[in-house]
Amino acid sequence: NAGVMQNPRHLVRRRGQEARLRCSPVKGHSHVYWYRQLPEEGLKFMVYLQKENIIDESGMPKERFSAEFPKEGPSILRIQQVVRGDSAAYFCASSPSGRNEQFFGPGTRLTVL
């Protein structure tokens, strides 16, 4: 069974560009989470989604960041007009219904020049 897949693994953007990060959860998992790991900091929760619904976005910055998990296809984390402070590793995790364990993908490392 394939685990959580994220792409791209590395992404370089210039200030002001858009970054789109993709996450395919473990097959059969209906819950998706996004976390951010800034350099020398711990993992911080951003958003929790189920298919076509945002359940908890309490960790999302108010501006420029959005997330979706459509009925078909991967979950997308979109960052508009990136700034240098957005440089970080972004991890996606998934869990099956009825279970609390979250399984993480390998992450996307975003570098903003």
Give the dihedral of Cα atoms 38, 27, 49, 62; nearest 10 deg.
Answer: 30
Least Å from the CB of residue 33 to another protein: 7
Task: Quote the CA–CA distance of 10 and 22 in Å, as a whole number.
Answer: 12
Q: Applying CB under 8 A, which part among 12-20, 30-38, 64-72, 73-81 lies near another protein?
A: 30-38
Q: Does 56 bind another protein (CB under 8 A)?
A: yes
Give the dihedral of Cα atoms 108, 109, 112, 113; nearest 10 deg.
Answer: -130
Q: Does 58 bind another protein (CB under 8 A)?
A: yes
Least Å from the CB of residue 99 to another protein: 9
Q: Does 102 bind another protein (CB under 8 A)?
A: yes
